[in-house]
Amino acid sequence: MHEYSIVQALLEQIEGIAEENKAEKVVKIITKIGVMSGVEPHLLELAFNTFKERTICDGAEFILNIQPVVIECISCGEVSELDEIHYSCKKCESIDVKVVDGEDMFLMSLEME
């Protein structure tokens, strides 16, 4: 389960940010997870809850915002969210599209004390 290694890297990143800001505690963590990122949100939350103990994140609220896939049509310029993984423009039905969101995971914000 690669979510464990993701959480370990996330905790290291958070600890570095907290140290830079001289924070003693992290109370809220907000992430954005694209549906095509390969990360299983429930497994990520389980891994986070397992590893956060005895870190600066112990007791922190962990918020997972799920980002649908967003595409932009090269042919007509339409930007749309996909309800299903079918890479075609909803407006002109072209398959000449590029993915603009929904494939990554990001740490969006931290609330620290």
Burial of 78 (0-12, 13-18, 19+ CB in 10 A): middle
pTM of the entire predicted model: 0.86
50 phi, psi to nearest 5 deg: -75, -45
3-112 to CATH, choices 3.40.50.300, 3.30.70.20, 3.90.1150.10, 3.30.2320.80: 3.30.2320.80
C-alpha–C-alpha distance, residues 14 and 29, integer Å: 9
- For the chain, give the mean pLDDT: 95
C-alpha–C-alpha distance, residues 96 and 99, integer Å: 10
Average pLDDT over residues 88-96: 94
Tokens 């990360």 belong to residue: 39
Neighbours of 76 (CB within 10 A): 13
**Reported confidence tier of residue 1, pLDDT bands at 50, 70, 90:** low
pLDDT in tens, 34-87: 999 999 999 999 999 999 999 999 999 999 999 999 999 999 999 999 988 889
